[in-house]
Amino acid sequence: MAIQWFPGHMNSARKHAADALARIDVVIEVLDARLPEASANPMIDELRKHRQRPCLKVLNKTDLADPAATQAWLAWYDRQPGVKAVALSAKKPADVARLPGLCRQLAPHRSDNTKPLRMMIMGIPNVGKSTIMNALLKRRVAAVGDEPAVTKSQQCLDLGPGMTLTDTPGLMWPRIEHDSDGYMLAVGHAIGRNAVIEEEVAEFLAGILLARYPERLVERYGIKAEGCDGHAVVEAVARRRGCILKGKGGGLDLEKAAIILLTDFRAGALGRISLETPETRAAMLAAAKEAAA
């Protein structure tokens, strides 16, 4: 099943963001370090390039991502014109405090303090924008939640002498082009639950774990990867965790098992895992191009 999610308020948010970009020096785009390109909204790239604005790519949740994959992504982004990348955890105020200085490097014309450095923070839902904003301002100004699309309006805030920050709601795009991106976004909890089937999302995650992190399944659930596919992993989690349907028959509660697997991933209980690397991304895009030819 292809996953698509574009709540109505996001179309209005996109228009407001496009207007505000005319008054912005640097875009701070927050990404999920576990799925950087899958969590990169192509509309943000399009809008900032139209206005010729540089971009600081912030790979948040780096404490949950595979360190080797994160380093590969940082190098990949730093090779792009007008882009600088940094990996951090929004839960660490010292990490977040570096962001204005990095933005100044991208906007040297604002480095003399004669005019304010105007930044805009953007990204898809549930990547940690609000947590970063609160850390920068050292007070709670943005709602934080574990459900996507908590922030629904734009606001401009004073960060101190010579700096302003415009916050924007989490922005999805009208059509997710690649099915695997939709599943990765769902695994990362960037998409509302009403748009996904938990079992299918968990099976997708299990497939990645089988291919690249099979030892984590053994460590967490005692599941041997040999001969398994994604569905078999979810079934095995159900058996290990006693997920049994009530009533006659008492079959496996696969939905409950799927939620256990997804929750464990999101909380870091499976260890530091990345759903994509620059190499797997390139291979996916090449396969998609070949299939379309």
Please check whether residue 139 is in contact with residue 72, taking contact to mean a CB–CB distance below 8 angstroms.
Answer: no
Chain mean position to CA 89: 12
Q: Which two tokens stand for residue 66?
A: 């595979």
Q: What is the structure's pLDDT at 5?
A: 52
Q: What is the structure's pLDDT at 143?
A: 53
Residue 258 falls inside a structural domain: yes
153 with 208, same domain: the answer is no
131 with 219, same domain: the answer is no
Sequence letter at residue 15: K
When divided into structural domains, the chain yields a total of 2
Percentages helix, strand, coil for the chain (3-state, rounded to 5) are: 45, 15, 40
Q: Look up the domain containing 256 and give its range.
A: 197-292
Q: Average pLDDT, stretch 75-103?
A: 95
Q: What is the CA radius of gyration of the chain?
A: 20
54 with 131, same domain: the answer is yes
216 with 134, same domain: the answer is no
Question: In which band, very low, low, confident or very high, does the pLDDT at 271 lie, cut at 50, 70 and 90?
Answer: very high
Q: Average pLDDT, stretch 213-223?
A: 96
Q: What is the structure's pLDDT at 292?
A: 86
138 with 218, same domain: the answer is no
228 with 150, same domain: the answer is no
**Any idea which residue has 């005692």 for tokens?**
222
234 vs 227, more confident? 234
pTM value is 0.89
Query: Under DSSP, is residue 229 helix (H, G, I), strand (E, B) or coil?
Result: coil
65 with 154, same domain: the answer is yes
Taking every pair of C-alpha atoms in the chain, what is the biggest distance, in angstroms? 74
Q: What is the structure's pLDDT at 145?
A: 46
Please check whether residue 72 is in contact with residue 278, taking contact to mean a CB–CB distance below 8 angstroms.
Answer: yes
DSSP H or E segment with residue 38: none
